[in-house]
Copies of this chain bind each other. A is one copy, B any other.
Amino acid sequence: MGLTKTEIFTDKQNQLATFLKAMAHPARIAILQRILISNTCICGDLVGELGLAQATISQHLKELKNAGIIQGTIEGVSVCYCINPKTWKLLETQLGAFLAEYKGETACC
C-alpha cells in the first residue's frame, strides 16, 4: 500500500488535492508569498532568506513547478521564478467553489 487510490475519485477532486498538496508545506507557502509580494523572484534570494539549504529550496521550487503553480525562466546566471497566472486563476476558481459549498452552521453537531 502507501499509494493513493486516485482512480476512485473524480478528476476535479484529484486536481484540487494535487494543488493543495503542492502548497501544503510552510517552506512552499513562504516561497509563494515571497514571489507574490515581490512580483518576481530569484532562487538565490530565498536561500539567504529562508533557513534551508540550497538543495532543499531547489527541490521545493521543483514541486511548485511540477504542480504548474510557478514557472521559471533562465535569466543570465540565475533563474527567475514567478506565478503561473493561468494555474493561479484555476486554483482560485476550484478552491473558491470548494469553500463556497459550506452553507453555514448546521443544527446537527
The listed residue (B25, B71, B81, B105) touching A85 by CB distance below 8 A is: B105
Q: Are A83 and B106 in contact (CB under 8 A)?
A: yes
Asked whether any CB of chain B lies closer than 8 Å to the CB of A45, the reply is no
What's the number of copies of this chain in the assembled complex?
A: 2
Contacts of A27 in B (CB 8 A): 4-5, 9
- Compute how far the CA of A34 lies from the CA of B36 in the bound complex, rounded to whole angstroms: 33
Asked whether any CB of chain B lies closer than 8 Å to the CB of A73, the reply is yes
User: Given contacts A85-B104, A98-B33, A108-B82, are A24 and B21 in contact (CB under 8 A)?
Assistant: yes
Contacts of A6 in B (CB 8 A): 26
Q: Are B83 and A8 in contact (CB under 8 A)?
A: no
Asked whether any CB of chain B lies closer than 8 Å to the CB of A99, the reply is yes
- Least distance between A72 CB and chain B CB atoms (Å): 7
Interface residues, chain A, with chain B CB atoms under 8 Å away: 4-6, 8-9, 13-14, 16-17, 20-21, 23-30, 32-33, 36-37, 39-40, 50-52, 71-73, 80-83, 85, 88, 91-92, 95, 98-99, 101-106, 108-109
